[in-house]
Amino acid sequence: MAQAAQKLVAKVPKLVGAAVTYTKPRLATFWYYARVELVPPTPSEIPKAIDSASGLIKSYQAGRLGQTTVKDALRNGLVATEVLMWFYIGECIGKGGIVGYNV
Amino acid sequence: MVPPVVVSPLIKTTRWSALLLGMIYGRQRFNYLKPIAEEERRIEEAEKAAREEQERIYKQLSEANADTILK
Protein backbone atom coordinates (compact mmCIF):
# COMPACT_ATOMS: atom_id res chain seq x y z
CA MET A 1 0.00 0.00 0.00
CA ALA A 2 2.74 2.44 0.95
CA GLN A 3 4.81 1.30 -2.04
CA ALA A 4 1.88 1.90 -4.40
CA ALA A 5 1.44 5.39 -2.95
CA GLN A 6 5.16 6.07 -3.39
CA LYS A 7 5.08 4.94 -7.01
CA LEU A 8 2.10 7.20 -7.66
CA VAL A 9 3.84 10.18 -6.07
CA ALA A 10 6.91 9.53 -8.23
CA LYS A 11 4.74 9.55 -11.35
CA VAL A 12 3.11 12.90 -10.59
CA PRO A 13 5.82 15.20 -12.06
CA LYS A 14 5.82 13.15 -15.27
CA LEU A 15 2.02 13.45 -15.47
CA VAL A 16 2.20 17.18 -14.85
CA GLY A 17 4.84 17.52 -17.58
CA ALA A 18 2.69 15.52 -20.01
CA ALA A 19 -0.34 17.67 -19.20
CA VAL A 20 1.68 20.85 -19.80
CA THR A 21 2.99 19.62 -23.17
CA TYR A 22 -0.55 18.67 -24.15
CA THR A 23 -2.19 21.91 -23.20
CA LYS A 24 0.49 24.37 -24.34
CA PRO A 25 -0.27 24.42 -28.11
CA ARG A 26 -4.01 24.30 -27.46
CA LEU A 27 -3.70 27.20 -25.05
CA ALA A 28 -1.71 29.04 -27.72
CA THR A 29 -4.48 28.61 -30.31
CA PHE A 30 -7.05 29.63 -27.73
CA TRP A 31 -5.15 32.84 -26.97
CA TYR A 32 -4.62 33.46 -30.67
CA TYR A 33 -8.36 33.61 -31.23
CA ALA A 34 -9.43 34.97 -27.86
CA ARG A 35 -7.17 38.00 -28.07
CA VAL A 36 -9.16 39.23 -31.06
CA GLU A 37 -12.61 37.77 -30.56
CA LEU A 38 -13.25 37.71 -26.83
CA VAL A 39 -11.78 41.02 -25.68
CA PRO A 40 -14.09 43.52 -24.02
CA PRO A 41 -14.92 46.58 -26.14
CA THR A 42 -12.58 49.56 -25.88
CA PRO A 43 -14.29 52.81 -24.82
CA SER A 44 -14.02 54.09 -28.38
CA GLU A 45 -16.13 51.19 -29.67
CA ILE A 46 -19.11 51.90 -27.46
CA PRO A 47 -20.54 54.76 -29.57
CA LYS A 48 -20.19 52.49 -32.62
CA ALA A 49 -22.20 49.86 -30.76
CA ILE A 50 -24.90 52.40 -29.92
CA ASP A 51 -24.99 53.42 -33.58
CA SER A 52 -25.39 49.82 -34.75
CA ALA A 53 -28.16 49.30 -32.20
CA SER A 54 -30.07 52.36 -33.43
CA GLY A 55 -29.44 51.17 -37.01
CA LEU A 56 -31.04 47.85 -36.09
CA ILE A 57 -34.07 49.60 -34.62
CA LYS A 58 -34.41 51.78 -37.72
CA SER A 59 -34.19 48.83 -40.09
CA TYR A 60 -36.83 47.03 -37.99
CA GLN A 61 -39.08 50.06 -38.24
CA ALA A 62 -38.47 50.28 -41.98
CA GLY A 63 -39.94 46.81 -42.29
CA ARG A 64 -36.79 44.97 -43.28
CA LEU A 65 -37.78 42.12 -41.00
CA GLY A 66 -39.71 40.43 -43.78
CA GLN A 67 -36.66 40.49 -46.03
CA THR A 68 -34.27 38.54 -43.85
CA THR A 69 -33.48 35.11 -45.18
CA VAL A 70 -33.99 32.06 -43.00
CA LYS A 71 -30.24 31.54 -42.96
CA ASP A 72 -29.68 35.07 -41.69
CA ALA A 73 -32.42 34.69 -39.13
CA LEU A 74 -30.94 31.44 -37.82
CA ARG A 75 -27.48 32.97 -37.61
CA ASN A 76 -28.74 36.01 -35.75
CA GLY A 77 -30.74 33.77 -33.44
CA LEU A 78 -27.63 31.75 -32.59
CA VAL A 79 -25.61 34.88 -31.90
CA ALA A 80 -28.37 36.26 -29.68
CA THR A 81 -28.54 32.97 -27.77
CA GLU A 82 -24.80 33.07 -27.19
CA VAL A 83 -25.01 36.62 -25.85
CA LEU A 84 -27.82 35.54 -23.50
CA MET A 85 -25.73 32.62 -22.22
CA TRP A 86 -23.06 35.07 -21.06
CA PHE A 87 -25.69 36.45 -18.68
CA TYR A 88 -26.07 33.03 -17.07
CA ILE A 89 -22.30 32.62 -16.82
CA GLY A 90 -22.22 35.99 -15.04
CA GLU A 91 -24.94 34.77 -12.71
CA CYS A 92 -22.90 31.67 -11.87
CA ILE A 93 -19.91 33.88 -11.08
CA GLY A 94 -22.02 36.20 -8.95
CA LYS A 95 -23.65 33.50 -6.90
CA GLY A 96 -20.43 31.61 -6.31
CA GLY A 97 -21.34 28.19 -7.65
CA ILE A 98 -22.43 26.41 -10.78
CA VAL A 99 -25.58 24.62 -9.74
CA GLY A 100 -27.85 26.44 -7.35
CA TYR A 101 -27.29 28.96 -4.64
CA ASN A 102 -25.19 27.70 -1.72
CA VAL A 103 -27.10 29.55 0.98
CA MET B 1 -5.35 28.44 -39.39
CA VAL B 2 -8.39 30.53 -40.06
CA PRO B 3 -7.70 34.15 -39.14
CA PRO B 4 -9.73 35.33 -36.16
CA VAL B 5 -13.00 37.01 -36.95
CA VAL B 6 -13.41 40.71 -36.21
CA VAL B 7 -16.43 40.85 -33.92
CA SER B 8 -18.82 43.77 -34.31
CA PRO B 9 -18.71 46.29 -31.42
CA LEU B 10 -22.43 45.83 -30.74
CA ILE B 11 -21.96 42.13 -30.06
CA LYS B 12 -18.93 42.80 -27.91
CA THR B 13 -20.66 45.40 -25.76
CA THR B 14 -23.81 43.31 -25.35
CA ARG B 15 -21.77 40.24 -24.39
CA TRP B 16 -19.71 41.90 -21.70
CA SER B 17 -22.58 43.97 -20.36
CA ALA B 18 -24.65 40.77 -20.15
CA LEU B 19 -21.79 39.23 -18.17
CA LEU B 20 -21.67 42.21 -15.82
CA LEU B 21 -25.44 42.26 -15.39
CA GLY B 22 -25.43 38.54 -14.72
CA MET B 23 -22.78 38.92 -12.01
CA ILE B 24 -24.73 41.71 -10.34
CA TYR B 25 -27.99 39.74 -10.56
CA GLY B 26 -26.38 36.61 -9.13
CA ARG B 27 -24.81 38.48 -6.25
CA GLN B 28 -28.02 40.33 -5.37
CA ARG B 29 -30.16 37.20 -5.52
CA PHE B 30 -27.66 35.38 -3.31
CA ASN B 31 -27.78 38.17 -0.75
CA TYR B 32 -31.55 38.07 -0.85
CA LEU B 33 -31.80 34.30 -0.41
CA LYS B 34 -29.16 33.98 2.31
CA PRO B 35 -31.08 35.41 5.31
CA ILE B 36 -34.21 33.53 4.24
CA ALA B 37 -32.29 30.25 4.27
CA GLU B 38 -30.76 31.02 7.65
CA GLU B 39 -34.18 31.80 9.08
CA GLU B 40 -35.51 28.53 7.71
CA ARG B 41 -32.60 26.62 9.21
CA ARG B 42 -33.19 28.22 12.59
CA ILE B 43 -36.89 27.37 12.50
CA GLU B 44 -36.07 23.82 11.44
CA GLU B 45 -33.69 23.43 14.41
CA ALA B 46 -36.30 24.67 16.87
CA GLU B 47 -39.00 22.45 15.42
CA LYS B 48 -36.64 19.48 15.38
CA ALA B 49 -35.93 19.94 19.09
CA ALA B 50 -39.64 20.09 19.83
CA ARG B 51 -40.29 16.99 17.69
CA GLU B 52 -37.53 14.99 19.35
CA GLU B 53 -38.97 15.92 22.73
CA GLN B 54 -42.41 14.68 21.65
CA GLU B 55 -40.97 11.44 20.34
CA ARG B 56 -39.06 10.87 23.56
CA ILE B 57 -42.19 11.38 25.64
CA TYR B 58 -44.19 9.10 23.36
CA LYS B 59 -41.58 6.38 23.54
CA GLN B 60 -41.39 6.56 27.30
CA LEU B 61 -45.15 6.39 27.60
CA SER B 62 -45.43 3.45 25.22
CA GLU B 63 -42.68 1.58 27.06
CA ALA B 64 -44.40 2.24 30.36
CA ASN B 65 -47.74 1.05 29.00
CA ALA B 66 -46.27 -2.06 27.42
CA ASP B 67 -44.70 -3.06 30.71
CA THR B 68 -47.11 -5.68 32.01
CA ILE B 69 -46.69 -8.85 33.97
CA LEU B 70 -48.43 -10.81 31.26
CA LYS B 71 -45.34 -10.90 29.00
Q: Is there a contact between A53 and B10 if contact means CB atoms under 8 Å apart?
A: yes
Residues of B in contact with A79 (CB under 8 A): 11
Residue A66 confidence (pLDDT) above 70: yes
Q: Can you tell me the ipTM of this complex?
A: 0.76
Structure confidence by residue, pLDDT tens digits, A2-44: 888 888 888 888 999 999 999 999 999 999 998 888 888 888 8
pLDDT of A82 reads 94
Residue B70 confidence (pLDDT) above 80: no
Structure confidence by residue, pLDDT tens digits, B38-51: 999 999 999 999 99
Residues of B in contact with A29 (CB under 8 A): 1
Structure confidence by residue, pLDDT tens digits, B3-19: 888 888 899 999 999 99
Residue B71 confidence (pLDDT) above 70: no
Task: Residue B12: name the closest of A73, A96, A79, A26 by CA.
Answer: A79
Q: Is the pLDDT higher at A101 or at B55?
A: B55
pLDDT of A79 reads 93
In angstroms, the first-to-last Cα distance of chain B is 88
pLDDT of A83 reads 92
pLDDT of B18 reads 94
How many Å apart are CA A67 and CA A45, to the nearest integer? 28
Phi-psi region of B34 (alpha: psi -120 to 50; beta: other; left: phi over 0): alpha
How many Å apart are CA A48 and CA B10, to the nearest integer? 7
Angstroms from A2 CA to nearest CA on chain B = 44
How many Å apart are CA A27 and CA A20, to the nearest integer? 10
Q: Is there a contact between B22 and A33 if contact means CB atoms under 8 Å apart?
A: no
- Banded model confidence at residue B31, pLDDT cuts 50, 70, 90: very high
Q: Which pTM does this prediction carry?
A: 0.74
How many Å apart are CA A5 and CA B7, to the nearest integer? 50
Structure confidence by residue, pLDDT tens digits, A88-98: 999 999 998 88
pLDDT of B22 reads 94
- Banded model confidence at residue A45, pLDDT cuts 50, 70, 90: confident
